[in-house]
Structure 1
Amino acid sequence: MSAASVDGDVPILFLIAGEPSGDALGARLMAAAKRLTGGKVRFLGIGGEKMTAEGLVSLFPMGELTLFGIFELLPHLPNLLRRIDQTVAEIVRLRPDVVVGIDSPGFTVRVAKKVRAAEPAIPLVHYVAPTVWAWKPKRAAKYAAIYDHLLAVLPFEPPYFEKEGLACTFVGHSVVEGRAGKGDGAAFRERHGIAPTERIVAMLPGSRKGEVSRLLPDFRAALDLLRPSHPDLVAVVPTVATVRDRVAAAIADWPVRTLLVEGDAEKYDAFAAAEAALAASGTVALELALARLPTVIAYRLNPITVALYRRLIRVKYVNLVNLMLDRMLVPELLQQDCRPDRLAAELGRLLDDPAARQTQIDGVAEVARWLGQGDTPPSERAARTILNVVVQRRPVST
């Protein structure tokens, strides 16, 4: 779609992101839309620091939406409901050309449902199809009743929604557009004074407050167990603004030299310098795969939340790399298995066994292709699809 494809008034895109991964998606989408329209596009909505850098003025701080799990959510529910109503009222008042919810379904779907009831003519798009192939397959019909178009990040997802009458376009996974796999490890070592003989492990406890609170104590204890046999370890902890202070306080007394870094450039350079990683389940696991950094995945939720989720989950793995390969390539230590001795053992194996490291590096080679790596960036495919929705729903000039 060229800039000339959107005629008349400058199109207004109302974008809603609720967590850092969605903020990154939104920022790339915004940059692509500006390229495709020659800058003739406006953005409103809710986003974080990356979307703000692309020109979005957020309706309220995105950090208020970074919640996960039933019991983690309950104390914040009154404010969340207030923010839903505020967002809907703003959309109805502004009447944008399209509303794009970026993941965070707990918030974005509720907003979309209310907008559909209040102003049916406003086009609604959801970016990142729900994993109906993994759990709650009835969500496909639910989304079809609300949205005009869905953007899928995996190639096998569209048929699940198309059979319900919802237009769904595979755009690829935006993670392939980052610099994962293109970092400068030597520059990272020089910048932080890390000797060539020191061995770096990347520790990624997540971007939600609940995640870092649950995982960081076990990450610390795992390093304590590793230190006697690996006295040359340096831990690097990439973080984001929403949890930076919490993470900084938690790692202040770690048993090995520990660096806290922020920003994608630092993160990807750290990946290039590291020999192994310990990470919370999530989008970062895909970045680690693209960086060819051998990884151990860890995660823990409130036990009652997990008991409820287990009734619904239909897949064997939580890591998308393992799901796509249909085998346990990347170790997953979840719930009761997420404990310091297991974390230390798996991380130590990756540090000490070159064959184990190489097996994981070789195994993720296929993943890049599945994620949509190719000539057209996923964000451009997504932006093109959204702008086409705008064109199709605008009245024809006479």
Structure 2
Amino acid sequence: MSDPLIFLIAGEPSGDALGARLMAACKRLTGGRVRFAGIGGEKMVAEGLDSLFPMGELTLFGVFELLPHLPNLLRRIDQTVAEVLQLRPDAVVGIDSPGFTVRVSKRVKAQAPDIPLIHYVAPTVWAWKPKRAAKYAAIYDHLLAILPFEPPYFEKEGLPCTFVGHSVVESGAGQGDALRFREAHRLAPDARVVAVLPGSRKGEVSRLLPDFRATLERLLPSHPELVAVVPTVATVRDRVAAEVAGWPMPTILVEGDGPKYDAFAAAEAALAASGTVALELALARLPTVIAYRLNPVTVALYRRLIRVKYVNLVNLMLDRMLVPELLQEHCRPDRLALELGRLLEDPAARATQIDGVAEVARWLGQGGTPPSERAARVVLEVAAGRPETTRPDKTRAQEPAWEKRP
């Protein structure tokens, strides 16, 4: 196929990272003979995407966070559908963000059923809303799953689904340089670094950073050498910088994957919002405490639907609470300080968590064919109209040897 046009849609930083790796892999596999259009963030733009509009307009989460922006989101859906219909790409790839990507794909399916539709990151039907499997089967031509147990949920509904592995294993999260970080920031030899990750959405930052500050303040009397490093992203950089400017301990703000992973290597523990970053921390073997809080009404709705015991994928795959999760009413500075202090003071607690996350990293595909390359092969094959060749061979080297099911 000559110079296929792939239309990509990402709606948040984690999807932007997935999209950028997918674009890079498509370019490698085609010798650069591939074109891109769609919506993405700074990483996808760096790979050559001219984003239709700023991705930050889609980075919303929760019922009450979404409502004020609904008119603009509906307008952006119309704009995106119109662009797809005008360009007639060889494939459309929606990357997570189902609130936006599914709506766009459904309308494209109705108006141009000949355009192949792919969704990257299978919805967590094993956790909540199992009927979504049938809904996706009615819209999409192929699904890319990041967890090894997901394909059967969709294949039984007639939707081809390929496990490609979790793209986070390509992030470089475990390859940071602690010495480089300490030298760059002129840290004292006895400085004890804690990574603080409040999320990539404005609502997350507003809800979590005050509690994270209070947590560190509780630890400061017993750990006067504490240094906080706060990785952030462009969408919330200014807000995070304003919040941490007055923290009572030395605080370093970093942006970009390289500095973030160097910070992980230099840190002894992390305090993080639930999300993809929890997997990055696992790959970096950095002991972590996970925290999260949403609007209480949103949480009440979710709790009626969710079917799993944990929010952190590490805990979910292990089926036990390895990484402490403090959510909603439990997300309090006193509880957070207790768990974070244990990781700073108890070598056995640190070792237990490090050993457990190493096993999960293997299950997610670390050490095999890069997930982005496997995903790119599927996308290019679907775009070329050869869906029968989209499945990689299910060899032991490609598939994690994990048989548990949620």
- Pairwise TM-score range, normalised by the shorter structure: over 0.9
Matches within 5 A, 1:102-251: 102-251=95-244
Cα distance in 2, alignment partners of residues 67 and 26 from structure 1: 18
TM-score, normalised via structure 1 length: 0.96
Identity of paired residues, percent? Answer: 83
The structural deviation recorded for 1:255 is: 1.5
Tell whether the 8 Å contact from 1:30 to 1:54 is kept in structure 2 after alignment: yes
Q: RMSD of aligned C-alpha atoms?
A: 0.8
Contact 1:123 1:393 in 2 (8 A): no
Query: Could you tell me how far 1:12 is from its partner in structure 2?
Result: 0.1
Question: Would you say the 8 A contact 1:299–1:334 is kept in 2?
Answer: yes
Instruction: Tell me, yes or no, if the aligned pair for 2:10 and 2:96 is still in contact at 8 Å.
Output: yes
**Which residue number corresponds to residue 55 of structure 1?**
48
Residues 164-192 of structure 1 show CA distances to partners (whole Å, capped at 9, x for unaligned) of: 00000000000000111110001100000
Q: Which runs of 5+ in 2 are unaligned?
A: 388-406
Q: What's 2:400 paired with? A: none
**Equivalent residue in structure 1 for 2:362, among 365, 369, 386:** 369
Residue 374 of structure 1 and its aligned partner are, at CA, apart by 2.7
Q: Which runs of 5+ in 1 are unaligned?
A: 1-5
Under a length normalisation based on structure 2, what TM-score does the superposition of the two structures give?
0.95
Matches of residues 186-335 of structure 1 in structure 2 within 5 Å? 186-335=179-328
The answer to whether residue 332 in structure 2 is matched with residue 339 in structure 1 is yes
Alignment partners' CA distance in 2, 1:323 and 1:240:
27
State the Cα distance separating 1:391 from its structure 2 match: 1.4
2: CA distance between counterparts of 1:390 and 1:312?
Answer: 35
Q: Which residue matches 2:402?
A: none
Q: Distance in 2 between matches of 1:280 and 1:103?
A: 19
2: CA distance between counterparts of 1:118 and 1:15? 18
Q: 3-state DSSP class of the match of 2:207? A: helix
Distance in structure 2 (CA, Å) of the matches to 1:91 and 1:362: 46
2:268 and 2:366 map into 1 onto residues whose CA distance is 24
In the TM superposition, structure 1's runs of 4+ consecutive aligned residues that sit over 2 Å from their partners are none
CA distance in 1, matches of 2:40, 2:357: 31
User: Residues 215-247 of structure 1: CA distance to partner in whole angstroms, max 9, x if unpaired?
Assistant: 000000111111111100000000000000000
Q: Does 1:12 align with 2:5?
A: yes
Matched, 1:360 2:373: no
What is the deviation of 1:98? 0.3
Q: Which residue of 2 aligns with 1:3?
A: none
Give yes or no for contact 1:299–1:333 (8 Å, CA) kept in 2.
Answer: yes
| Structure 1 residue 370, shift from structure 2 partner | 1.1
1:393, distance to aligned residue in structure 2 (A): 6.1
Farther-moved stretch of structure 1 (45-54 vs 373-382): 373-382
Alpha-carbon contact 2:215-2:333 (below 8 Å) kept: yes
**Number of residue pairs aligned between Structure 1 and Structure 2:** 387
CA contact (8 A) 1:44 1:56 kept: yes
SS of alignment partner, residue 260 of structure 2: helix
Equivalent residues of 2:90, 2:384 under 8 A apart: no
From 80, 93, 117, the equivalent of 2:86 is 93
1:378 to 371, 382, 385: 371
Contact preservation (8 Å) 1:99, 1:124: yes
2-side partners of 1:191 and 1:218: how far apart?
28
